Structure 1
Amino acid sequence: MDEQKNSLGRMWSLYKIGGLTPAIASMLGSQNAQQMAFIRSVMKEQRKQSMFETPIAELEFVVFDLETTGFHPSQGDEIISVGAVLVEGTRPRHDRFFYSLINPKRNIPQKIIELTGITQAMANDAPDLLEVLHRFLEFADKRILIAHGGGHDRQFLNAALWKTTRIMLTHRFLDTMMIYRWLHPKESVYDLDALLERYGIPVSERHHALEDAKMTAILWEKLMIEVQDRNVHTLGDLYAYLSQ
């Protein structure tokens, strides 16, 4: 307990002298401090961006997906992989992608191993959360994030960011599930499997973060054809309709 108090005291003294990054660098190492500083700078710059009048066709997006140990980050569930692919306007760029496993620092339930194919040994050899967050946000940059049923993914990303850097996600966010529900309000089934079948999108591999992200990117492309048929062309137009 005394050692913990002394460590906190040293960190507080460093914070008062030089700010958060030098304090973290002293306590956790310079590499972690640099990763945290980068993540904070991305979040800060993201709040400055104004894209609402920009045509969707001129924007860049990052479609992403997470695999996790469960559904509840508040109860100790963790991210075990993240996959993402760049989309230019409505066109997926499958040659520009990001994928990494993450060491969750906990046991992976057997049902998750069977679902994702990610074994405990694979996870134990994977990079730590902070390192992967740094690389993922470097890939995402200031682009708008897209996910299907994105409440789950956004919740886990926010929990991970808060755990590692005490900040929350500030990227603009779109959910292909919400877009589909707006376009087809009378339909009751809109999970990813159902929509892949509805739009004739070939299923490469489910519950693999990168493959799910790639298929969701193709789904985005299909949905944008319908969106533009509704005379929705800018990001602001799309947000306005989704908020109704």
Structure 2
Amino acid sequence: MKDMRPAGRFLHLYRMGGLTPAIASMFDAQNAQQMAFIRSIMKEQRKHSLYDIPLDTVELVVFDLETTGFSPYNGDEIISFGAVAVQGGSVLEEQKYYSLANPKRTIPSNIVELTGITNEMAEAAPELIQALSGFLEFVQRKILIAHGTGHDKHFLNSALWKTSRIQLQHRLIDTIMIAKWLNPKLPSYDLDYLLDMYEVPVTVRHHALEDAVMTAKLWSKFMAEIKARDVLTLGDLYSHLSK
């Protein structure tokens, strides 16, 4: 007799028809479709190599997340995604993505004050899987750039595992690492200091989309210095950053 408890039913459907029907048996149809999409993006990303593409033409997405705290493994959650497309050193400001995400928990008062995202806004926001799916649909297979990628990578991996049992496969470029390579003796590498140093106008800080756009403009400034050092491909850049 077949085991038709949830785990047994999932395994039976997986053996009979593959992952997507099995997922659909455990979740509603919309979430199952989004989960399958997220997994397909990660699978395709593993096949994709961009190392030889000139930095002048490479397609990138600069992104930022706002979160309820600093530890996704201790209950903190993403509350907003912001992203903007970049090609080479050109910021494509007409190509943007922004979404709030419902963290399913109370946002601490200091985070509400910092980000302007209230608990009422979060409660009305899309579910995490919907916001994450929209973000990855915008990103596709492009290189990801963020300021301080460790924080954002941990939260993305936590969200991907929670929603789709998969980890991030996209390549990441950290603007802090670039700043340290270009300017090894600066007293600070936080975003505010670098925006001021490179004369990037500050709009709204701690707003995922605005921070992403400002970081993209900082990347654009970096690109002029990177090319001046005869670093012309993504592979060249990674090689320098790994030293």
SS state at 1:226 partner: helix
Q: How does 1:136-175 map to 2 (within 5 A)?
A: 136-175=135-174
- CA–CA distance in structure 1, aligned partners of residues 47 and 11 of structure 2: 30
Q: How does 1:60-209 map to 2 (within 5 A)?
A: 60-209=59-208
What's the offset of the Cα at 1:24? Answer: 1.4
Runs of 5+ unmatched residues, structure 2: none
SS state at 1:57 partner: coil
SS state at 2:65 partner: strand
- Measured against aligned partners, the alpha-carbon deviations of 1:142-178 in whole angstroms (never above 9, x if no partner) come to 1000000111011100110011111100011101110
Q: Does 1:44 align with 2:43?
A: yes
Higher mean C-alpha deviation, range 168-177 or range 23-32: 23-32
Identity %: 61
What's the offset of the Cα at 1:12? Answer: 2.0
What's the offset of the Cα at 1:21? Answer: 1.3
- Measured against aligned partners, the alpha-carbon deviations of 1:165-199 in whole angstroms (never above 9, x if no partner) come to 11100011101110000111122300000001101
Higher mean C-alpha deviation, range 20-29 or range 96-105: 20-29
State the TM-score, normalizing by the size of structure 2: 0.97
Look up the match of 1:24: 23
Runs of 5+ unmatched residues, structure 1: none
- CA–CA distance in structure 2, aligned partners of residues 59 and 229 of structure 1: 17
What's the offset of the Cα at 1:9? Answer: 2.2
- CA–CA distance in structure 2, aligned partners of residues 230 and 187 of structure 1: 19
Look up the match of 2:220: 221
Moved segments of 4+, more than 3 Å: none
- Measured against aligned partners, the alpha-carbon deviations of 1:208-227 in whole angstroms (never above 9, x if no partner) come to 00000000000000001111
- CA–CA distance in structure 1, aligned partners of residues 26 and 41 of structure 2: 23
- CA–CA distance in structure 1, aligned partners of residues 28 and 190 of structure 2: 43
Look up the match of 1:231: 230
- Measured against aligned partners, the alpha-carbon deviations of 1:98-148 in whole angstroms (never above 9, x if no partner) come to 000000000100000000000000000000011111111000001000000
- CA–CA distance in structure 1, aligned partners of residues 50 and 112 of structure 2: 40
Look up the match of 1:8: 7
Look up the match of 1:212: 211
- CA–CA distance in structure 2, aligned partners of residues 182 and 218 of structure 1: 18
What's the offset of the Cα at 1:228? Answer: 0.7
Higher mean C-alpha deviation, range 28-37 or range 151-160: 28-37
What's the offset of the Cα at 1:38? Answer: 0.7
Equivalent pairs, count: 240
Look up the match of 1:53: 52
